[in-house]
Structure formats: C-alpha cells, structure tokens
Amino acid sequence: MDSKKSLLLIVSGGIAAYKIPELIRLLTKQGISVTCIITKAARQFVTPLTLASLSGNQVYTELFDLKDESEIGHIQLSRQANLVLVAPATASIIAKMAHGIADDLATTCLLATDKPVLVAPAMNVKMWEHPATQRNINQLIQDGVTFYGPEDGAMACGETGTGRMAEIETLTNAIRQQLEQATPPALPLAGKHVLVTAGPTHEKIDPVRYIANRSSGKQGYALAQQAASMGATVTLVSGPVNLAAPYGVQTVRVTSASQMLEAVKAALPAEIAICAAAVADWRVAAPSAEKMKKTGKQDVPTLVLTQNPDILHTLSNLEQERPELVIGFAAETQDIIANAKAKLARKGCDIMIANDVSEQSGTFGGNDNAVHFITKDRISSWDRMSKQEVSNKILQEIRSKK
Ligand code: C5P
C-alpha cells in the first residue's frame, strides 16, 4: 500500500451507497488505497464483499470484532489513512459526528481520527433542510470538517431538491486534491535507525548495594523522543531511571554497563548512535553473592574495582556495523572544552556534546542543559536551554550532516 495516498472511506446507510463501488473503482485506478468501514444500515444497500473486491482491502464492520481489534484496532484504523471520507453521509451520522457520539465502529473512528475529514451528505431534502441538520453541519464546519454537496436534483425518494450526494467525479477530484495537501512532508530522519543510551548504570556490590551516579536519563530520553518525532526508528537502551518509556520508541531497560553494551550490540545496525548514558567507569570485580556483613567495629571492606567496557569507544571502533555517526557526551566538571576535545579523539567518535555537570550547574537531574557541540573542526557553544531544545538542536545538526 502506498501510505502516502490512502483513504479511509466510511459508508453510512443511504441509498446513494450504491454509487460507492464506482467511487472505489475510480480511486484505486488512480493509485489511491481505499479501506472501507460500512455501517449496519449501509449493508442494506451495498455488501462488504463488493467493497472488499473493488478496494482489494479488508472491509471493517464491527467495533468489537475480536479478530479485527487484535489485528488492527479501531484507533490505528482511524489514523493510518491520510484522509477520511464519509460517503454517503446520512443525517444520522452527521448528527452523531456533531455531538461526538461514538456508538459503532464508524463513529468511533470519526471521533478518534487525527486526519482531515470530508463528508458527502445524501438525504431527503426535508431532512437536509431541517434546522437540526443545519445546526449539526455548522458545528462540523467549525470543527474543521469539509463538506462536498449535497447537490440539487431528483432523489430516490421521488422528491426533488437539495439532497443528492455529490457526483462521483466531484468526489474523486476533491479526494485527489486533499490527499496532495494532506500528504505530510517526508520526516527528516525517516528510514534511519537511531540508537540512544541513557541514564546511569548500577554496578553491583552485593545483592542490596550498588555503585551509581546522579544521571536522571532526561537528556537521553529527550533525544530518543525527538529522534522518533523526526521519523527515526529509535532504540533506547536505558539504565535504571524514573522515566516512562518515550512514545513510539523501542526501550530496552538494563542495569549494568556490561548489560548496556550487550543491549547496544544487539540493537545494531544503526545509522546513528548517541551515547548519552553516564556509564560507570568501574564495577566491583567480584560482587558478593550474599549481603556483606559488618563483623566488627574496625572492619571496613575493600572493594576491588575493575574497568567497565567503554560502549562509546567500542561503537566508534567497530570494524563491522560501525554507525555512520557516533555521538558521545562529555560530562565534565572542569576544563570542559579541552577535556571534551581530548575525549573526542580518544574515543574515536564523530561528535562530542560537552556539558558542565558540576554540582552548581544543576545539569544532572535538572531540566536544562548548556552544551558545546564539538567536532574535529569546530566548536559551537549553545545557550542554556531545555533538554528537549538541546535534543532538537543536536538532531537538526546531525540531519544537516547526513
Ligand atoms: O569517558 P567518559 O565517561 O567521560 O565519556 C563519556 C562518554 O562516553 C559518554 O558519551 C558516555 O555515554 C560514554 N561512555 C560509554 N561507556 C563507558 C563510559 C562512557 O559509552 N564505559
């Protein structure tokens, strides 16, 4: 299916429903993918089988259909198309739309959709002219719904006046035009896999104690969220933090640096890797299997530490599957830029984001960050801003490099 040109067509129960198979035929001929929802009343006029045969797509009928809900779900159904058309739209479905009533699959999708909605009314002239219908139409126009028709002429009920569904050609042209406008511009990181590490790591001393640091994970989570909203497929490998998984991001939760490295390797390949985690440099060489006990007043245990794997260094120096762009964070308390430049060279990454994490900076755990964007050839120092804004700016820079 061409996701750039897809229509959710809601067919409600008017005699004009007999024209819908022809509409579907014309739209599919133009490369527009049509998915239909047909109300109970509309099934008196046209069958789901006809619509399915002509559209080549499954036709949805019931809100609580176990199979449909488990496979697609009404929310997804209401969102996956670029445009929604209700044709023919009866006075009843228009009234429900105007009042936000969601009592079947069609009206629930109309309430849940975040896409433009077009309506092609078709009804008896008196029903159309009724103040209730006109009130509902006005309300829907204010809500941003676009109406096509109804047109004047003879109607199936034998009366003449305004109430005929707009001509199929009119609707086809309107849909084509609207789809062109509704097609969102390609997102800047669409098709890219972005891997982000975030948060601290906890290194076990014994079953109840660990070595940790003050990282909140906020900067890494903001980066993951921002990358996802720019269209990337995002894997977030997170140490223990108090943050909810960002929406639309594959979040893998780990505890220690070793686990973080394993999760990062498992997530490859990725075009972009951003190591925002504050990974512990050392772990206890032989953590105690049992809780360590105080045995006497003078008795102080000695912790023998060993070095943790350096994830950023590992990723930057992979022979196979090295991401095209590897970005590190240099959390410094002094000589920030000099230390970060040295780190950029030592780790072998492409960009270093340097920030001050001294206690007075409030960076660890805070909502703001002031960073320097450092590459081999340039240093840009940005004003203090929210971690979301920092994420946006970093990803905009990356995007211009790609
Ligand atoms: O060497 P330092 O810890 O200051 O470097 C910070 C950068 O290196 C951060 O991007 C951090 O995520 C990454 N790092 C890592 N694995 C480590 C230590 C740091 O990926 N073991």
Q: Whose Cα sits closest to atom 21 in ligand 1? A: 310
Verify that 170 and 227 share a domain, yes or no. no
Distance CA 202, CA 308 (A): 12
Pocket test for ligand 1, best of 254, 258, 311 (most atoms within 8 A of CB): 311
In the block, tokens 């989570």 appear at: 221
Mutate to test the pocket of ligand 1, among 236, 279, 356, 394 (most ligand atoms within 8 A of CB): 279
d(CA 389, CA 402) in angstroms, rounded, equals: 20
- Between the CA of 302 and the centroid of ligand 1 the distance, in Å, is 25
Whether the CB of 356 sits within 6 Å of ligand 1: no
Instruction: Report the 10 Å Cβ neighbour count for 251.
Output: 17
Q: Are residues 176 and 198 in the same domain?
A: no
Whether 24 and 145 map to the same domain: the answer is: yes
Whether 341 contacts 374, CB under 8 Å: yes
Atom of ligand 1 nearest to the CA of 352: 10
Q: For ligand 1, is residue 329 a contact (CB within 6 Å)?
A: yes
89 within a domain of the structure (yes/no): yes
Q: Is 357 in the pocket of ligand 1 (CB under 6 A)?
A: no
Domain annotation covers residue 265: yes
Any atom of ligand 1 within 6 Å of the Cβ of 311: yes
Q: Which of 154, 180, 206 is the last residue of a domain?
A: 180
Please check whether residues 232 and 305 belong to one and the same domain: yes
Q: What is the DSSP letter of 302?
A: -
Same domain for 90 and 214? no
Q: Which two tokens stand for residue 248?
A: 């639309």
Active-site residue among 109, 157, 275, 349?
Answer: 157
Whether residue 274 has its Cβ less than 6 Å from ligand 1: no
Residue 293 within any structural domain of the chain: no
Q: Is 23 in the pocket of ligand 1 (CB under 6 A)?
A: no
Instruction: Say yes or no: 202 and 172 in one domain.
Output: no
Domain contains 367: yes
Q: What is the CATH number for 244?
A: 3.40.50.10300
377 CB burial (10 A radius; 0-12, 13-18, 19+): exposed
What is the average pLDDT value for the chain, to the nearest integer? 92
Of the residues 126, 154, 180, which one is the last residue of a structural domain? Answer: 180
Residues 118 and 210 reside in one and the same domain: no
Residues 222 and 199 in one domain: yes
Q: What is the pLDDT of residues 129-148, one digit of tens each?
A: 999 999 999 999 999 999 99
Tell me whether residue 188 is in a domain: no
Phi-psi region of 325 (alpha: psi -120 to 50; beta: other; left: phi over 0): beta
Tell me: do 346 and 381 sit in the same domain.
yes
The whole-number pLDDT of residue 52 equals 96
pLDDT tens string 263-273: 999 999 999 99
> Closest Cα partner for 305 from 293, 287, 321?
287
Torsions phi, psi for 115 (to 5 deg): -110, 160
8 A C-beta contact, residue 60 and residue 81: no
Where a domain ends, among 180, 215, 239? 180
Give the integer Cα–Cα distance in Å for 59 and 37: 6
Ligand 1 atom with the smallest distance to the CA of 276 is: 12
Q: According to the model, what pLDDT value does residue 186 have?
A: 77
Q: How far apart are the first and last CA of the chain?
A: 28
* Residues 162 and 248 placed together within one structural domain of the fold: no
In-domain check, residue 187:
no
- With a 6 Å cutoff on the Cβ, whether 326 touches ligand 1 is no
Ligand 1 midpoint to CA 290 (Å)? 30
Please confirm, yes or no, whether 275 is among the known catalytic residues: no
Position 106 in a domain: yes
Domain count, the chain: 2
In a domain, 294, yes or no: no
Enumerate residue ranges in the chain where pLDDT < 70: 1-4, 182-184, 401-402
Do 144 and 175 fall into the same domain? yes
Owning domain of residue 101: 5-180
Position in ligand 1 atom list of the atom nearest CA 308: 21
Question: Domain containing 38 — which CATH number?
Answer: 3.40.50.1950
Q: Quick one: 217 and 315 in the same domain?
A: yes
